[in-house]
Structure 1
Amino acid sequence: MVKKKKKRHLLPVLAINGILKNNSIYGPYIFAGAFAVFVFFTLSSIIVNDLVYTLPYSGYIKVLMMIGLVVLGIILVPFLLYTNSFLIKQRKKELALYTILGLGKKHISIMLLIETLVIYLVVLFGGITTGLVLGKFMFILLLNLSGLDLHIQFELNGKAFLNTMVFFLILYLFTLIKNLVSVYRLTPSELMRSHKENDREPRFAVLRGSIGVIVLCGGYWIAINSKVDGFIFTNFFLAIIFVIIGTYCIFKAGLHVLLTKMRKNKRFYYKAQNFITVSGIHQRINKSSTSLSNMCIYSTMIIITLLCTVSLFFGMTHIVNYRYAYDVEMIFENQVTSSIPMENVKQFNKMVYIDLSLVQEENHFSVSEDEYAPKEKVRFLTQEQYEEFGNESLNLEDGEVAVFTNGPDLNFKEIHLGDQTFTVTEELEKIVGVNKSYGNVYLNVIYVILKNEKMVENTFHELGIDGKLAYKTKYIVMLNEENKVETIEKLSLWTSQQPGMLSFDDVISGEADTKSMAGGLLFLGIFCGIVFLICFLIIMYYKQISEGHDDRYNFWVMQKVGLSDGEVKSTIRRQIMTVFFIPLLFATIHTLVAIQMIVRLFAVIGLFEESVIVLSSIGVIVFYIFIYMFSYLKTSKTYYRIVRM
């Protein structure tokens, strides 16, 4: 009975000593957890702060912060599982000694429970304390990036504390259960040997490697060929899943197949340096493949997150300039009878038109009652209405049309509207008040200009639309810079008082709305990028430690059989460079393939300047290569120090 009590009192001491004694591996793990708690707590605090949503243009903030929480949760689960598996593997010899000294698996389970509880409390305390100290600064940063009122208070809410505690409690309980299962499955002798055991070669390596290549190519195909339509985001996430699965399969089995072929090449393999490097990697292919694939995936996440953040930062002006070729736009169901306030107005134009949503098959347009059928917005107006809007004169005859689109050129010689065929006499380069971008394939509107109203009526009849034509009237206004805000407010008030008012839009509100959306995305990009980078650095650090411990005995043997210190260093350098730069190569390829899809995703929010995205990609990739090399140089010292112990 006394012995049992002593054991119980000893367990908390052993648990805390286990963490302190292994601070070189637990330190980064705890730091990453605390930072994740800080980010999670900060985002939760913003989401539950009701005062934020009383501000104008803050509608994007809640949605974006919730997306950030989901992304953070998705990333943290595999990261904690991987790092936890590394930690427990390093501890198995120590746990085996405890069992030999008299501790049963029940006592070890209690000790692991105490360790997990201590880590959870330290991580929670560190992260929430940091959130309390820096939360207001983070909140002001978000408001500043989003262009919102900086006088709003950062309020603490019990929901944020509860959400954070529950989420991370579930995560750490899951890792505890995983550790307990692995300990209960093994005998003391198996625990003693398990940290040295090499992972078995993958079964069906050729098949799995081939599947990996096929799935990866499938992800690439989706990324390259996806169109900007309602499925663009679905295709984006599908491509991500394919690339992740393909990457894991290639690193898990494809790398094994490649190294096997290298070993069969006698000219290459039986050189001293190649023999040692290739055989060393091959012995730990399964363990290495998991680490390498994780490094590759996190590297890709970092590059793409930074790429999107930088592109958005430099592209905000382009988004606003494209959306607003005017200062004010007012749309009504019919023509306005009362006089429009003209104070401070520099330019004023009026367009009368009819909008239809038509199914397009090349140059054929038709009406469809299928609400799920992909449709294009087609805007019809007469030659007189077109010229009245301030455009150049046209000279159309019966059966002729002029066309314009604010996206890529149509290049049609003929256009079929229902059963009626028209000759396209001219594809216009511009229309007053409308900006054109050849990258706009999602938000485009097709303008069809006919000779007169009779031709419009006949066309609608052929399309199966009879009755009175529902014309809309659009007014666009350019203002003098002086007193622009006051004039916009007057026009907004006047518009709201008119019958048949459909919409009012102005450049000031548009800029604020765009900045709110972009600011939230920038805020998320900054924090997600930092989280991804921390995860990557810790995985690389653990990988170096793991490789160092695995190679220490092997390199001691090499020195005993006659290899000089210089040859040992050369072998280490070749092996580390081979192992650690393959993920960077794959991550760069993943990013280059993803650029076309990123361009299309940005097109959805109105950023059509491909040059901004391409230049940002080049800059981010070069920047990340330097970060990667710096991390490699720093962690390789840890590797060599362990090897020489």
Structure 2
Amino acid sequence: MNSVHNFLFYPRLALTNMKKNASIYRPYLLAGGLLAGLLYVLDSVGVMVEKSQMAGKDIMQVIVEICGNICMLFVFLILFYINSFVMKRRKKEFGLFCVLGMEKKHLGFVLFWEVLIGLTASLLSGIIIGALFSQAMFLLLLKLVELPGKLMFTIPFQSVGRTCLIYGTAFSIVLVYDLISVSRANPIQLLKSSETGEREPKTRWFMAASGTAALAAGYGIAIHTRTASGALHFFFPSVILVMAGTYCLFQAGSVAILKTLRKKKDFYYKPENFVAVSGMIYRMKQNAAGLSGICILSAAVLITLSTCASLYVGEEDILRNQYPREISLYAGAENAESLPSGVLDHENAHQPQQVPEAILSAARSLALEHNCELENMMDFYQLSFNADYNGNRIRAVRGYDPGTLMVYVLTLSDYNRNNDGNAILAPGEAMYYAPAVTLGDSVDLCGLGYRIAGRLEEFDITQLPGFATPRDLVLLILPEFADLQDLARSSRGILGEEDGNRIQVSYHCFFDLKGPAQGQAGFQAEFKDRIPGITRGIARDQIRTEFYQLYGSILFVGIFFIALFLTATVMIIYYKQITEGYDDRERFQIMEKVGMSTAEVKNTITRQVMMVFFLPLGMAVIHIIVAFPAMCSLLSIFSMYNTRLFAAFTVGSVLVFGAVYLFVYRLTARTYFKIVQE
């Protein structure tokens, strides 16, 4: 009986401790349950997608799995971060237990039961909530990808097992860290750990300068990145620089600014400013990590929300940018030998016009069979390759690296026909369109020289369907088809046989269908087999489902990332308010005793809290503004060129998140005021 009593002593003590520290543990367990629910829902949705027979399930499953792995990493970081706040408030309590005679191994038993209770509560609440909402989230995914579905309750037990394994591992790491932390401290250190103040930090000019330099470098990269390849390769390094600069400036730069304010006697020696500035100086080292974390997470929420929403809402525009007509046909054009013998004129097999003649004749015949007509036709010859640009020298290269340009070459007749133009080029002359580069009076194209007759100020990018990076573009207009053939041969000579054989002049044909829906469906079902010589054929309606699945899945996982980042942001703000409240309580009690009124104290509290907690939001908005051009370049990889739509969602994201941030601030500020005024 006594052994049973001893066994139950530690879990009872752990429960009592958690109840006494409810203000700390309630949000901890709430966050733990929410994060467990997120993990379970993601995993269960992935299982449901895998077991379904829906078309295109593979791409959705991959996106959900990637999101799940990233979320798992963030869950570990968030739980560990929150636990550090909890332990700081509990160490004094543990020190008291030691003074009263409890050994550290007994503290270990208490910690074990507290972690076990937290793990059990988080898992139970998370899995129950996740089970209730997982099917709804699966239906939401189906809605986003525009597939039918019906509500049915199911609990994938493999998802339960994986969630328990992930959470068990996370809480085990937390427990080991807590045990090591307590075992290394003596009772006196534990008693005073929560009261240990920060020494006044020195003005670390080197860190402040380094932070300024890192932030300037990150901003510079983002501002000057105007190509999609540059954004793809340099945007994430610039993010790392901005994150490092943000932390350094919050830690060292803020101290330098506060000390500068302290030297201004007219400002500093006012009661409200004196308390706010002096208090922030002494705790800025502690604040830096939290404030920079809030800033970075806020920026992550804004970027995720604006980009995912823009891609989803703009998916139809993206589809039409890549496929401007209902039917897209592609074929090799340098000779007609690939045509079937029934349509091939062997004596003129080298003549490229046989390719479009054969393709268009077969397309019109097939359309007539289905009571349809071809309309809005657009066709052209095209040569494309990756190239390096150095001065007025353009050379074909292998691969696609930062700074590499995509060179597209059209014939003058195709350009005039598709643009209702009347441009004239003499032999050896060229026109060009290039948003990112400027050519001089002449250009060396893979060893072939051309005089520049003019620069096009505008060009309809939809004439190059499937091309996703307009700022990387160099479009050249050459006089004749023979010029394209000569340039293709010269490019192949530079790259060699293995890589050069992929550079071929191709024929592109795009058109819409006019006729009954049944006839259009029949044409789309047969055209790939009935039209001779094409190397690729795409029907826009057939590929629309894949688009909806891709961008719907992106928005779906974006919702989870936003929930994850918001949870982390709210928890950091909440625990920071509690920590600030306990640190400030005695200080403000002293200020009241020396003559400050309650109204003055409350006004000082409000000023300090607002200065501390709205600075990260303001800096996050600045980060988003600076990153906007680079984000536009990144979105162009998806053929998302609607800058106004992205700007509207960015502004909307800032307003919505600002409202949420203000709401969280007001809730947590009440806790802060309550602690300070106790």
Q: How does the TM-score come out when normalised to structure 2?
A: 0.86
Matched with 1:535 is 568
SS of the equivalent of 2:387 reads strand
User: Deviation string for 1:199-248 (max 9, x for gaps)?
Assistant: 34456732222222222222222222234344533423222222222222
Over 3 Å counting, the alpha-carbon distance change for 1:286 and 1:303 in structure 2 is same
Gaps of 5+ in 1: none
Over 3 Å counting, the alpha-carbon distance change for 1:319 and 1:212 in structure 2 is same
Aligned to 2:506, which of 472, 493, 518?
A: 472
Task: Please identify, of 161-170 and 9-18, the stretch whose mean Cα deviation from structure 2 is larger.
Answer: 161-170
The Cα of 1:464 is off from its aligned counterpart by 6.2
Q: Say yes or no: does 1:339 pair with 2:362.
A: yes
The Cα of 1:265 is off from its aligned counterpart by 2.8
CA distance in 2, matches of 1:386, 1:295: 52
Structural mapping, 1:410-425, within 5 Å: 413-425=441-453
User: Deviation string for 1:496-536 (max 9, x for gaps)?
Assistant: 35554321122223432322222112112222212222221
The Cα of 1:604 is off from its aligned counterpart by 0.9
SS of the equivalent of 1:366 reads strand
Over 3 Å counting, the alpha-carbon distance change for 1:125 and 1:19 in structure 2 is same
Over 3 Å counting, the alpha-carbon distance change for 1:458 and 1:434 in structure 2 is closer
SS of the equivalent of 2:314 reads helix
CA distance in 2, matches of 1:384, 1:149: 47
Over 3 Å counting, the alpha-carbon distance change for 1:350 and 1:204 in structure 2 is closer
8 Å CA contact 2:428, 2:450 repeated in 1: yes
Aligned to 2:648, which of 596, 615, 618?
A: 615
User: Deviation string for 1:407-448 (max 9, x for gaps)?
Assistant: 779676544323332234455655796179999435747353
Matched with 1:303 is 302
Matched with 1:576 is 609
SS of the equivalent of 2:9 reads helix
User: Deviation string for 1:478-508 (max 9, x for gaps)?
Assistant: 123741x752552342313555432112222
SS of the equivalent of 1:150 reads coil
User: Deviation string for 1:98-128 (max 9, x for gaps)?
Assistant: 2223221101111111111111111111111
Q: Say yes or no: does 1:173 pair with 2:176.
A: no
Q: Percent identity of the aligned residues? A: 27
CA distance in 2, matches of 1:421, 1:637: 73
Over 3 Å counting, the alpha-carbon distance change for 1:381 and 1:255 in structure 2 is closer
CA distance in 2, matches of 1:60, 1:39: 20
One-letter code aligned to 1:423? R
Aligned to 1:398, which of 415, 427, 430?
A: 427
Matched with 1:142 is 141
One-letter code aligned to 2:562? G
SS of the equivalent of 1:339 reads helix
8 Å CA contact 2:484, 2:505 repeated in 1: no
Task: Please identify, of 508-517 and 102-111, the stretch whose mean Cα deviation from structure 2 is larger.
Answer: 508-517
Structural mapping, 1:72-151, within 5 Å: 72-150=71-149
Matched with 1:547 is 580
CA distance in 2, matches of 1:155, 1:446: 54
The Cα of 1:129 is off from its aligned counterpart by 1.5
8 Å CA contact 1:358, 1:365 repeated in 2: no
CA distance in 2, matches of 1:589, 1:389: 43
One-letter code aligned to 2:327? V
User: Deviation string for 1:552-582 (max 9, x for gaps)?
Assistant: 1111111111211111111111111121121
Over 3 Å counting, the alpha-carbon distance change for 1:456 and 1:355 in structure 2 is closer
Task: Please identify, of 536-545 and 333-342, the stretch whose mean Cα deviation from structure 2 is larger.
Answer: 333-342
Over 3 Å counting, the alpha-carbon distance change for 1:399 and 1:156 in structure 2 is same
8 Å CA contact 2:83, 2:174 repeated in 1: yes
CA distance in 2, matches of 1:221, 1:432: 28
Task: Please identify, of 557-566 and 309-318, the stretch whose mean Cα deviation from structure 2 is larger.
Answer: 309-318
Gaps of 5+ in 2: 337-354
8 Å CA contact 1:443, 1:604 repeated in 2: no
SS of the equivalent of 1:55 reads coil
One-letter code aligned to 2:210? I
One-letter code aligned to 2:512? M
Matched with 2:537 is 504
SS of the equivalent of 2:394 reads strand
Over 3 Å counting, the alpha-carbon distance change for 1:77 and 1:246 in structure 2 is farther
CA distance in 1, matches of 2:630, 2:647: 12
Over 3 Å counting, the alpha-carbon distance change for 1:356 and 1:152 in structure 2 is farther
Task: Name the Cα RMSD after superposition.
Answer: 3.3
CA distance in 1, matches of 2:486, 2:127: 69
User: Deviation string for 1:585-623 (max 9, x for gaps)?
Assistant: 211211211212211111110111222222222222233
Task: Please identify, of 357-366 and 587-596, the stretch whose mean Cα deviation from structure 2 is larger.
Answer: 357-366
Matched with 2:212 is 213
CA distance in 2, matches of 1:441, 1:430: 10
Over 3 Å counting, the alpha-carbon distance change for 1:69 and 1:237 in structure 2 is farther
CA distance in 2, matches of 1:392, 1:218: 44
Q: Say yes or no: does 1:630 pair with 2:663.
A: yes
The Cα of 1:326 is off from its aligned counterpart by 0.8
CA distance in 1, matches of 2:415, 2:608: 70
Over 3 Å counting, the alpha-carbon distance change for 1:155 and 1:61 in structure 2 is farther
Matched with 1:44 is 43
The Cα of 1:184 is off from its aligned counterpart by 0.9
The Cα of 1:284 is off from its aligned counterpart by 2.1
8 Å CA contact 1:328, 1:476 repeated in 2: yes
Over 3 Å counting, the alpha-carbon distance change for 1:6 and 1:599 in structure 2 is same
One-letter code aligned to 2:617? L
SS of the equivalent of 2:535 reads strand
CA distance in 2, matches of 1:377, 1:642: 62
8 Å CA contact 1:354, 1:471 repeated in 2: yes
Task: Please identify, of 580-589 and 390-399, the stretch whose mean Cα deviation from structure 2 is larger.
Answer: 390-399
The Cα of 1:32 is off from its aligned counterpart by 1.1
CA distance in 1, matches of 2:54, 2:471: 30
Task: Please identify, of 218-227 and 468-477, the stretch whose mean Cα deviation from structure 2 is larger.
Answer: 468-477
Matched with 1:599 is 632
One-letter code aligned to 2:273? N
8 Å CA contact 1:391, 1:432 repeated in 2: no
8 Å CA contact 1:545, 1:642 repeated in 2: yes
Task: Please identify, of 164-173 and 152-161, the stretch whose mean Cα deviation from structure 2 is larger.
Answer: 152-161
Matched with 1:62 is 61
Q: How does the TM-score come out when normalised to structure 1?
A: 0.90
Structural mapping, 1:421-460, within 5 Å: 421-425=449-453, 434=463, 440-441=469-470, 444=473, 446-453=475-482, 455-460=483-488
Matched with 2:282 is 283
8 Å CA contact 1:549, 1:643 repeated in 2: yes
Over 3 Å counting, the alpha-carbon distance change for 1:369 and 1:508 in structure 2 is closer
CA distance in 1, matches of 2:596, 2:504: 88
Matched with 2:340 is none
The Cα of 1:403 is off from its aligned counterpart by 4.4
Over 3 Å counting, the alpha-carbon distance change for 1:619 and 1:381 in structure 2 is closer
Over 3 Å counting, the alpha-carbon distance change for 1:265 and 1:436 in structure 2 is farther
CA distance in 2, matches of 1:371, 1:322: 22
The Cα of 1:356 is off from its aligned counterpart by 3.8
8 Å CA contact 2:331, 2:506 repeated in 1: yes
8 Å CA contact 2:18, 2:114 repeated in 1: yes
Q: Say yes or no: does 1:365 pair with 2:380.
A: no
Matched with 1:491 is 524
8 Å CA contact 2:330, 2:536 repeated in 1: yes
Matched with 2:8 is 9
CA distance in 1, matches of 2:4, 2:556: 52
SS of the equivalent of 1:102 reads coil
8 Å CA contact 1:223, 1:594 repeated in 2: yes
Over 3 Å counting, the alpha-carbon distance change for 1:344 and 1:403 in structure 2 is farther
